[in-house]
């Protein structure tokens, strides 16, 4: 991990947004196997693991820092929680490593996590100054600063148009 964890990053501080709805949708059963493809700080995973005896969970996250915080939060569940540093699109490989040929349910809480938004140094926050970073996983080399300062204007325009559906993509790319 690149930096030590601050007290602000206490995984127990994070309150999951939809635990009731997640538990209703997944209906964890004793001995069930569940996938949390976007583990984040582990709030929903903790609810799933606590919902029934002997539940096992495969937790994936591309953010190594979030994965470590989730590992701390889920430590009371011992070897029933399994952790993988990868994107949710790589779930099949994680399940293969566990020897699981099926799961009883899956959760994908797709988007930016509170860890990224709440920590200005991650570069996602509108509430605090920080570097132009915006990496989901800080072990990756490419930062937003490199993209906006070094990539050609045409590529910026394409990105803004294709991924942001921004109708002013040419003007924004030109201004950058």
**What is the per-residue pLDDT for 1?**
34
Cβ neighbours of residue 121 closer than 8 Å, sequence gap 6 or more = 130, 131, 133
**What is the per-residue pLDDT for 16?**
82
- DSSP lists the bridge partners of residue 61 as 85
CA 114 – CA 124 distance, rounded (Å):
10
Contact indicator for 70, 9 with CB cutoff of 8 Å: no
Collapsing DSSP to helix, strand or coil, 15 comes out as coil
**What is the per-residue pLDDT for 12?**
54
Long-range contacts of 76-83 (CB under 8 A, 24+ apart): 77/46, 77/49, 77/50, 80/49, 80/54, 80/55, 80/56, 81/45, 81/49, 81/56, 81/57, 82/56, 82/57, 82/58, 83/39, 83/59
- At 3, the pLDDT band (50, 70, 90 cuts) reads very low
Strand order in the sheet with 56-61: 81-85, 56-61, 33-36, 105-107
Share of residues in the chain with pLDDT > 70 (%): 92
**What is the per-residue pLDDT for 9?**
54
- Does the pLDDT of residue 33 top 90, yes or no? yes
- Does the pLDDT of residue 10 top 80, yes or no? no
pTM for the model stands at 0.76
Average pLDDT of the residues in 32-50: 95
Contact indicator for 37, 91 with CB cutoff of 8 Å: yes
The model's pLDDT over 81-133, given as tens digits with 9 standing for 90+, comes to 999 999 999 999 999 999 999 999 999 988 777 777 777 888 887 788 888 88
């Amino acid at each position: 991990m690149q930096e030590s964890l601050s007290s602000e990053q206490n995984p127990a501080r994070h309150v999951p947004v939809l635990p009731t709805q997640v538990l209703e949708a997944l209906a964890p059963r004793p001995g069930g196997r569940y996938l949390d493809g976007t583990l984040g700080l582990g709030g929903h995973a903790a609810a799933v693991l606590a919902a029934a005896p002997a539940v096992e969970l495969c937790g994936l996250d591309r953010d190594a820092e979030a994965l470590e915080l989730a590992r701390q939060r889920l430590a009371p569940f011992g070897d029933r929680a399994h952790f993988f540093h990868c994107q949710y699109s790589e779930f099949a490989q994680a399940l293969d490593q566990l020897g699981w040929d099926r799961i009883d349910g899956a959760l994908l809480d797709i988007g930016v996590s509170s860890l990224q938004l709440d920590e200005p140094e991650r570069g996602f926050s509108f509430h605090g100054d920080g570097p132009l970073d915006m990496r989901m996983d800080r072990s990756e080399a490419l930062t937003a600063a490199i993209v906006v300062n070094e990539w050609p204007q045409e590529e910026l325009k394409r990105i803004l148009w294709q991924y942001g559906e921004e109708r002013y993509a040419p003007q924004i790319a030109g201004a950058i």
